[in-house]
Structure 1
């Protein structure tokens, strides 16, 4: 299924609710997007509102993919780096694809849209992200051109006795 990507769409109730539903669905399917299942939309809402507030302030950018029916099916947030010595790269956060679309190229398309959105920003030379170890995500990002540049063992605790590596990946844009 082909997705249509938009950067910095107007955020209204439909988009907000679509992002909330996607984030909840991805989290409950075991996606590594800041939560451990089970979660409800009310568990996710405060995190989404923080992203939306940062977008309104101009410090975050949203890349969203809609399917042919107009449903929010993929999304990622780009965070501008406020540190004066690191403004040449951006963070990619909350990278999500609807579970039903995984394995069909939607994730790769989202990462291409993220890279394109970053390239369109003045002075941006790289995209940096972190991913949770134990899920093989670093292999997916490597297939999208990212390189592993750091790893903190056992930095993410998803449950008692279940610690995962925090893996940093970097995509040079030139």
Structure 2
């Protein structure tokens, strides 16, 4: 059963809790979404609040995928650029699919829904995202049409003596 995607859903306590559960489950399964396991919902809450502030200020958009049971199964945040010379592209952040749904094609569905959402924003020529090296994520994004356009060696420190590359990917929309 495919996910049902919603752009800019109402932020309810159930949605907030669903995103916190998703984010902690993805992080604790080793997902590269800004944290290193083990993490709790309370570790993640301040970062989610920052994302919600961006939504309230109109700087970000939220794309949520719900599974057949109505549970939050996937998310991506689309962030507008504020620099006047970079208004023609957006960032994609916090791209997650719940571990219980991985391997079903939902990641590709999420990336396609994010591209469709960005195209609907108007005058957006491309999507940029970054991913953590060492996990093969760049191969997944490349299979979704993204191209590696930059790499900062050792920019992400996940543990002492464990530095990973910060890989910059771009999806042209035009």
SS at match of 1:54: helix
Equivalent in the alignment of 2:75: 75
How far does the alpha carbon of each residue in 1:104-127 deviate from its partner, in whole angstroms, 9 at most, with x for none? 100000000100010001211100
Equivalent in the alignment of 1:144: 144
1:10-89 map, 5 Å:
10-89=10-89
1:32 CA drift (Å):
0.3
Equivalent in the alignment of 1:115: 115
1:83 CA drift (Å):
0.5
Within 2, Cα distance between the matches of 1:108 and 1:114?
10
SS at match of 1:167: strand
Equivalent in the alignment of 2:97: 97
Equivalent in the alignment of 1:164: 164
Within 2, Cα distance between the matches of 1:16 and 1:52?
9
Structure 2 unmatched runs, 5+: none
SS at match of 2:124: coil
Structure 1 unmatched runs, 5+: none
SS at match of 1:120: helix
How far does the alpha carbon of each residue in 1:22-44 deviate from its partner, in whole angstroms, 9 at most, with x for none? 00000000000000000000000
1:102 CA drift (Å):
1.1
TM-score computed with the length of structure 1 as normaliser: 0.99
Within 2, Cα distance between the matches of 1:89 and 1:153?
24
Equivalent in the alignment of 1:6: 6
TM-score computed with the length of structure 2 as normaliser: 0.99
How far does the alpha carbon of each residue in 1:125-169 deviate from its partner, in whole angstroms, 9 at most, with x for none? 100000000000000000000000000001000001110000000
Q: Does 1:125 align with 2:128?
A: no
The runs of 4+ residues in structure 1 deviating greater than 6 Å are none
1:49 CA drift (Å):
0.5
1:103 CA drift (Å):
1.4
Tell me how large the CA RMSD over aligned residues is: 0.5
1:100 CA drift (Å):
1.2
